[in-house]
């Protein structure tokens, strides 16, 4: 992987800015710019601007309360699968309950990732990424059959320019290489149990010896722990698209072709020389001491070659460990909290921007295409960014909270002075729903 300084110093441009739905501006900066723009607008009075500022603060509070309730629900669903659980529970989940909770967890985390404007990597995308040459020249193998279920989502794709040695210059000179990276990458996965994995191998026609080898490797990688009881979550930053296999916990290091050539050339020459010297000394030896010296010398040659191979493996492991440490953002239940915060940010930014565009419009109502165009123009003018604004999602949130009125295919914002009563009603609805949930569920 790439160092943090290298990434930020040499970041180029977004490779898919026309298609990305993520708004790469902080919630605070966007709302500050909306209020500033409202003050300069000829379509809004000072009184309306004050109400608009209050509206943005109260709407954020309501969204935060909704997401907090969602967090408690997800955290509760994750309890039986959390590998970091450090509290005692008197409840024992049945296999049927676990299956239901697993489906709920994967479904809701997937929906949460989409709300946070992440894009899913399907099985085809994952396999393509695993077959790309890695940016650090490492060779890593991953057995996807080890996993019962895997979700991989990414957000933000950019190019970073780095200097690397290349075979075209015989590895003597560094050249500029543009490497695509994912700004954020989230993984959610669960391993297969041994019985399930064995049945899969049988279904694939593996003989008993190959089954034994595969299961032995699987146990060694899992460190003989019952990892199929857990669901793991990981979030990373600034991951080169070609380094995806580094993130899988069952990845295994392999020597690259260049490593094999170097080790064969150096090791072969040293070993052949050692064998010749050993045989010549052995042929001339008449004393036991001379024979012992020859054997020890030959053992030293072999030991040196084995040591060079182990040193190369240790170097690769150090690179892998350091990369994972510097690029890791969060794990397990912490990922849920991070995703909820990211989804909250996107929901607030989309809803308030769309509402402001409708409120500040010179026409009494706008259609969906006009709202989308004006929202994207606002972001381009004030932040010089180009995105694909999710107008459908933004309007659905505003409609649900009765903050916009739809007339056919056209939309208009309710008067900003009227939003206070609407939001107050939603707050009491939220309180009532929470109170009902608490009385109905003793585990809430």
Instruction: Classify residue 19 by its DSSP letter.
Output: T
Indicate whether 84 belongs to any domain: no
Q: pLDDT band at 136, cuts 50/70/90? A: low
378-390 b/e with 16+ CB inside 10 Å = b?
A: bbeeeeeeebebb
Q: Is the pLDDT reported for residue 256 higher than 70?
A: no
Between 376 and 198, where is the model more confident?
A: 376
Indicate whether 49 belongs to any domain: no
How much is the pTM? 0.78
Counting residues of the chain whose pLDDT is more than 90, the rounded percentage is 42
Count how many domains the chain has. 1
d(CA 231, CA 114): 20
Helices (H), 230-360: 257-284, 288-327, 333-359
d(CA 336, CA 113): 10
Least confident of 38-42, 319-323, 346-350: 319-323
Q: Is the pLDDT reported for residue 184 higher than 60?
A: yes
Indicate whether 42 belongs to any domain: no
Give the model confidence (pLDDT) of 223-238 as tens digits. Answer: 645 566 899 999 999 8
For residue 262, how many other CB atoms are within 10 A of its CB? 14
H or E element at residue 177 = strand 174-191
The pLDDT of residue 5: 46
Q: Is the pLDDT reported for residue 135 higher than 70?
A: no
d(CA 154, CA 132): 17
Contact, 76 vs 104, CB < 8 A? Answer: no
Mean pLDDT of 80-91: 85
Indicate whether 303 belongs to any domain: no
Give the model confidence (pLDDT) of 123-132 as tens digits. Answer: 888 877 777 6
H or E element at residue 332 = none
Indicate whether 5 belongs to any domain: yes
The pLDDT of residue 242: 78
Indicate whether 47 belongs to any domain: no
Indicate whether 356 belongs to any domain: no
Indicate whether 189 belongs to any domain: yes
Least confident of 56-65, 148-157, 196-205, 350-359: 196-205
Phi first, then psi: give them for residue 132, nearest 5 degrees.
Answer: -80, 145
The pLDDT of residue 82: 92
Contact, 278 vs 221, CB < 8 A? Answer: no
Which among 37-41, 284-288, 306-310 has the top mean pLDDT?
37-41
| Average pLDDT across the chain, whole number | 80
Give the model confidence (pLDDT) of 4-18 as tens digits. Answer: 544 444 555 555 555
Instruction: Classify residue 193 by its DSSP letter.
Output: P
Range of the domain at 182: 1-22+116-254
Q: Is the pLDDT reported for residue 215 higher than 60?
A: yes
Which among 69-78, 142-151, 190-199, 280-289 has the top mean pLDDT?
69-78
Give the model confidence (pLDDT) of 20-57 as tens digits. Answer: 899 999 999 999 999 999 999 989 999 999 999 999 99
């Amino acid at each position: 992987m790439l160092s943090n300084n290298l990434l930020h110093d040499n970041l180029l441009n977004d490779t898919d800015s026309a298609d990305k739905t993520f708004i790469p501006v902080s919630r605070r900066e966007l709302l500050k710019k909306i209020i500033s723009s409202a003050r300069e607008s000829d379509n809004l009075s000072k009184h309306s601007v004050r109400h608009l500022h209050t509206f943005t603060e109260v709407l954020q509070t309501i969204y935060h309360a909704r997401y907090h309730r969602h967090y408690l629900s997800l955290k509760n669903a994750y309890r039986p699968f959390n590998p970091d659980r450090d509290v005692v529970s008197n409840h024992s989940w049945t296999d049927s309950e676990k299956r239901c909770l697993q489906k709920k967890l994967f479904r809701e985390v997937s929906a949460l990732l989409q709300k946070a404007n992440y894009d899913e990597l399907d099985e085809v995308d994952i396999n393509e990424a695993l077959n790309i040459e890695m940016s650090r020249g490492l060779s890593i193998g991953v057995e996807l059959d080890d996993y019962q279920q895997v979700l991989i989502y990414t957000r933000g794709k950019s190019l970073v320019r780095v200097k690397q040695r290349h075979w075209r210059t015989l590895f003597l000179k560094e050249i500029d290489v543009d490497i695509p990276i994912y700004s954020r990458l989230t993984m959610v996965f669960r391993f297969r149990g041994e019985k399930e994995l064995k049945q899969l191998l049988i279904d694939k026609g593996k003989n008993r010896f190959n089954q034994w080898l595969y299961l032995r490797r699987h146990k060694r990688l899992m460190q003989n722990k019952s990892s199929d009881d857990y669901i793991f979550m990981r979030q990373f930053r600034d991951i080169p698209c070609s380094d995806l296999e580094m993130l899988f916990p069952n990845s295994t290091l392999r020597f690259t072709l260049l490593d094999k050539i170097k080790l064969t050339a150096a090791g072969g020459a040293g070993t052949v020389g050692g064998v010749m010297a050993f045989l010549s000394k052995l042929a001339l030896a008449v004393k036991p001491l001379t024979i012992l010296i020859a054997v020890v010398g030959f053992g030293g040659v072999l030991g040196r070659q084995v040591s060079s191979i182990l040193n190369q493996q240790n170097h690769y492991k150090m690179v892998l460990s350091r990369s994972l440490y510097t690029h890791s953002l969060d794990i397990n239940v912490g990922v849920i909290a991070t995703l909820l915060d990211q989804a909250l940010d996107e929901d607030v930014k989309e809803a308030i921007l769309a509402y402001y565009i409708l409120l500040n419009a010179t026409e009494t109502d706008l259609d969906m295409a006009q709202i989308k165009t004006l929202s994207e123009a606002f972001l381009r003018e004030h932040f010089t960014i180009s995105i694909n604004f999710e107008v459908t999602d933004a309007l659905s949130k505003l409609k649900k909270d009765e903050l916009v009125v739809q007339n056919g295919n056209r939309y208009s914002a309710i008067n900003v002075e009227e939003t206070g009563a609407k939001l107050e009603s939603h707050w009491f609805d939220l309180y009532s729903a929470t109170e009902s949930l608490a009385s109905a569920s003793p585990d809430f």
